[in-house]
Chain A
Amino acid sequence: MSAALTDADISRALTRISHEILERNSGSTSITILGIPTRGAHLGYRLAKIIEGIEGVPVQVGTLDITLHRDDLRLRAPRALMETVIPSIGIEGRTVVLVDDVLFSGRTIRSALDALGEVGRPERVQLAVLVDRGHRELPIKADFVGKNLPTSKSQSVKVHLLEHDGRDEVLIEGENS
């Protein structure tokens, strides 16, 4: 099994997404980056660090756990909650950039939009993902995409990140049927 994205690919994709976020929002002063745990949170902090490097000013960054808003809670075992960290200035009137590792059905992002409503009312919400693998079940679209990976539904996309898995790579498992 070969890597769909190597560590260098991931690093380049994140750098490009950072520039795109800055371009779209004319700088970093209006944005608040919120990563969705577990891996989206690591990516969110990485993006914030890259943007700080480019702009030279601190970036508002945090995490948003969406577990309690999932629409499949009834169907599976309860999950331990992850940490939500909202920057002290809040999200009222901000441009929130949600960050996740893989965009698939779109249900996680729907849950995240609900979870945001419980925190406050942002001016607008944008979505950045490392991998868009298709097969959307809801009308949701990413604003910033690291890599579009066409997959079949029977395959699974595994994202490994240094902070959590000891290495950076994206793998596609299973046969393309």
Chain B
Amino acid sequence: MKHLLSINDLDKDFAITILDTANEMARVSEGPVKKLPTLRGKTVVNLFAEDSTRTRISFEAAAKRLSADVINFTAKGSSISKGESLKDTAQTLQALGADAVVIRHPASGAAHRLAQGRWMNGTVINAGDGTHEHPSQALLDAYTIRKHLAGGKGDLKGLRVAIVGDILHSRVARSNVLLLTKLGAEVVLVAPPTLLPHEVQAWPVKISYDFNSVLPTVDAIIMLRIQQERMSDLYFPSDREYSTLFGINSERLALTKSGSILMHPGPMNRGLEISAEVADSAQSVVVEQVANGVSIRMAILYLFIAGSQELVNG
């Protein structure tokens, strides 16, 4: 497998291999020397045509820990903001000798276009395309859940995960539904009907409009950000009403199962989908998700670009 465009590109065994590899990468990140020679001589380009903090610095840290050369290419201050097409950008990257392109783009399908355009030879890694997918985020979420609730190995069978909020615009939700169910977890989506996509009936998930009744039944809760920048219409009457019905606060936190964890892909809208005291509570693993993100992205870069062919075991 050459590119990581969608969770659908991964079978269950390979997804588990990525999580297992991340376990070992985490050990390196905790050690005294946070550097491996593994990708020496490889060039990784971070092509970010949309704002991002966490994902970009996470991929950058991951590539640097594996000794790859990193070139950051962001929309602002580059030829993308002058209207350069994806094709011309890709040909530039080819000329630079990029072994991998980590692409974040506001258009759904941009990563596929880049991978299938035959404009460049490198590996394409989707770091979020429009409202479509964000596979590395789903992998780091699955990694975080597995570490806390499944002993850090195997699949997620028997666990129940709630994904709460703006499912409609969320590539994080799409990738997470695909990956968590692939790994054997049960997924419940909690959202106002206006923020659920039409095709949700065909997804292998349960749907609830009553957050309070779901809280005591789940092992992990993934809160999604209300994406003001993608909301062209009115999806709910007011921020306060959304917050009252679908936000998590101290009273709701008290309803959760003991030992359950609370996640958020960031950036958080404190006071909207998550209250400040909950974001900073002991059950919140939001900061740890960032650290886990580096381990997962090291695993992805290693498995997709270190070698020359398909993965072998042993």
Contacts and interface: CB of A to CB of B under 8 A. Distances in A.
Interface of A: 38, 65, 68-69, 73-84, 114, 117-120
A68 B314 contact: no
Given A68-B302, A73-B306, A80 B37 contact: no
B21 A73 contact: no
Given A38-B314, A77-B312, 19 more contacts: A65-B24, A68-B24, A68-B36, A68-B66, A68-B302, A74-B41, A74-B306, A75-B308, A76-B308, A79-B312, A80-B314, A81-B21, A114-B37, A117-B33, A118-B28, A118-B32, A118-B36, A119-B31, A119-B32
Contacts of B28: 68, 118
Contacts of B38: 68-69, 73
B214 interface: no
A76 B36 contact: no
Question: Which 5 pairs from chain A and chain B are nearest by CB?
Answer: A78-B307, A77-B309, A81-B24, A77-B307, A68-B38
B24 A118 contact: no
Nearest to B16: A80
A105 B262 CA distance: 50
B302 A69 contact: no
Contacts of B33: 117-118
Given A74-B308, A118-B31, A119-B31, A80 B20 contact: yes
A73 B302 CA distance: 10
B303 interface: yes
Contacts of A77: 307-312
Nearest to A92: B32
A76 B312 CA distance: 9
Contact of A80 (B17, B304, B309): B17
A78 B24 CA distance: 15
Contacts of B32: 118-120
A78 B37 contact: no
Interface residues of B, number: 28
Interface of B: 17, 20-21, 24-25, 27-28, 31-33, 35-38, 41, 66, 302-304, 306-314
Nearest to B27: A84
B28 to A, nearest CB: 7
12 contacts: A38-B314, A65-B24, A68-B38, A73-B38, A74-B307, A76-B312, A78-B311, A80-B17, A84-B24, A114-B37, A117-B33, A118-B33
Contacts of A75: 307-308
A89 B303 CA distance: 31
B36 A79 contact: no
A118 B31 CA distance: 7
A81 B313 CA distance: 8
B118 to A, nearest CB: 23
B311 A69 contact: no
A81 B311 CA distance: 11
B101 to A, nearest CB: 18
Nearest to B24: A81
Given A68-B38, A118-B36, A120-B32, A81 B20 contact: yes
A83 B302 CA distance: 16
Contacts of A120: 32
Contacts of A78: 302-304, 306-307, 311-312
A115 to B, nearest CB: 9
B39 to A, nearest CB: 8
Given A38-B314, A81-B21, A76 B27 contact: no
Contacts of A114: 37
A65 to B, nearest CB: 7
The residue among A68, A75, A77 with the most chain B CB atoms within 10 A of its own CB is A68
